[in-house]
Amino acid sequence: MQRNTSRDETPIVTAILVGVDFGHGSFDSDLSELGLLAQTAGIEPVGRITCKRKSPDAALFVGSGKADEIKQLALQLGATEVLFDQSLSPAQQRNLERTLELPVNDRIMLILQIFAQRARSHEGKLQVELARLQYLSTRLVRRWSHLERQSGGIGMRGGPGERQIELDKRMINENIKKIKDRLVKVKKQRNTQRRQRERRDVFNISIVGYTNAGKSTLFNTLVKAQAYAADQLFATLDTTTRQMYLAQTQSSVSLSDTVGFVRDLPHGLVAAFQATLQEAINADLLLHVIDASNPEWPVQIEQVNDVLTEIGANDIPQLLVFNKLDAVPEDKKPDQLQGFYDRDGQLLKRIYVSAQQNMGIDVLRQAIADLVQSDKLDSNQKDPEKINNNDKTLESEFDSDLIQDIDYLD
């Protein structure tokens, strides 16, 4: 069988995508999101298999019959890897690789791979490496399973495989401890920056949302910045903060663009990115960006809220920003750019915009200004003697390494 290659003779990684519907929660029957994740990681999907089960098979996740079907399809299409849309246990992953005679990875490892490719800052790289090591620490047995039946020497417990696993575990645990220590320092630095903003009574806004909802594009539109934005999953991982001047309130607010969320975002990855997500935790307002053109947007809203709950940011006020209005079919476009969204009996204000086409941005700026002004009134009522210094120019007050520039918006 000839191996797939690109024009420059570089081998192309091709994969069979596998998803199992267990009858609870949302199931992506087309495996479209897994396909996008694979393409983002540089993997070409060549085949897809889905099935229904009441529960995962303990040994092979999909059962022996479906595993044989996957193997035959992989041979037929020349796939070099198999990707599962759900999380696999170390034993299931090992058993599948033996049965399929191909590398097998799950959704978590795929997301980790993408994050490793996209991390640019020192902090981002540390966070990704921490999550990767924590994930691999549970799967060391895969690397040394060929030694697991060899007996040890005199006075030795277990065989070479067991000893090597222990050495690897010790090494990984030492690296995890070092990275955690370094991230503690990063978190302290971020807290110092945040306290400086709080002392200057700056209103903090964080942009959150499902990946590829257009968060960075909206961020760039609001503050005229040049943060990287692209039509792909996890285009940016590092938090970017800029000052945005609101003429309506004659004050500046701090606007942060954060990492995007995705369905079944690994808990370890959420924990590892705690320092980055801290911007969302300490925000006064969350701009929750939603891809209005995606039919799955209601599910994506709940997925984002699940992560916000996990990091302790679920009680922060939200302004829903339904982005990509220009891509919404004409018969489904709203009559008005602003209204309310009923979420479990709670009415949340929502604004329809197209960040790329600059549609509805003025309405969004006014909505932000109204919320900032309302917060000021509430704050002054709680503390009548509080002096409002928000009308001062902040350029000279912020250290240059904390805030790069202030963009004045009409």
In whole angstroms, what is the distance from residue 84 CA to residue 22 CA?
14
Q: Which of 78, 112, 146 is the last residue of a domain?
A: 112
- 356, 215: one domain: yes
9 lies in some domain = no
77 lies in some domain = yes
- 216, 349: one domain: yes
CATH number at 375 reads: 3.40.50.300
CATH number at 22 reads: 3.40.50.11060
- 183, 286: one domain: no
157 lies in some domain = yes
Q: Are 372 and 249 in contact (CB under 8 A)?
A: yes
394 lies in some domain = yes
Q: Residue-wise pLDDT tens for the chain (410 aa)? A: 444 554 555 678 999 999 999 988 778 888 999 999 999 889 999 999 999 999 999 999 999 999 999 999 999 999 999 999 999 999 999 999 999 999 999 998 898 888 888 777 777 788 888 888 888 887 765 444 444 444 444 444 454 545 666 777 788 888 889 998 988 887 787 777 666 656 667 899 999 999 889 998 999 999 986 655 555 566 556 678 889 989 888 888 999 988 788 887 777 777 666 656 777 888 999 999 999 999 999 999 999 999 899 888 989 999 999 999 999 999 999 999 999 999 888 899 999 999 999 999 999 999 999 999 887 666 555 454 443 443 333 233 333 333 333 333 33
- 170, 57: one domain: no
345 lies in some domain = yes
What pLDDT is attached to residue 279?
A: 73
Region for 360 from its dihedrals, namely left if φ exceeds 0, alpha if ψ lies in -120 to 50, beta otherwise: left
Q: Which of 199, 230, 265 is the last residue of a domain?
A: 199
What pLDDT is attached to residue 140?
A: 65
- 163, 289: one domain: no
- 319, 189: one domain: no
What range defines the domain where residue 27 resides? 14-112
- 357, 220: one domain: yes
6 lies in some domain = no
Here the tokens at position 125 are 């790289």
Q: What is the pTM of this model?
A: 0.74
- 338, 356: one domain: yes
- 371, 282: one domain: yes
- 134, 18: one domain: no
What pLDDT is attached to residue 232?
A: 55
227 lies in some domain = yes
- 249, 386: one domain: yes
Q: Could you give phi then psi for residue 221, rounded to 5 degrees?
A: -65, -40
What pLDDT is attached to residue 352?
A: 97
369 lies in some domain = yes
- 228, 274: one domain: yes
Q: Which of 199, 220, 239 is the last residue of a domain?
A: 199
Could you count the other beta carbons within 10 Å of the beta carbon of residue 46?
19
Domain count across the chain: 3
What pLDDT is attached to residue 276?
A: 62
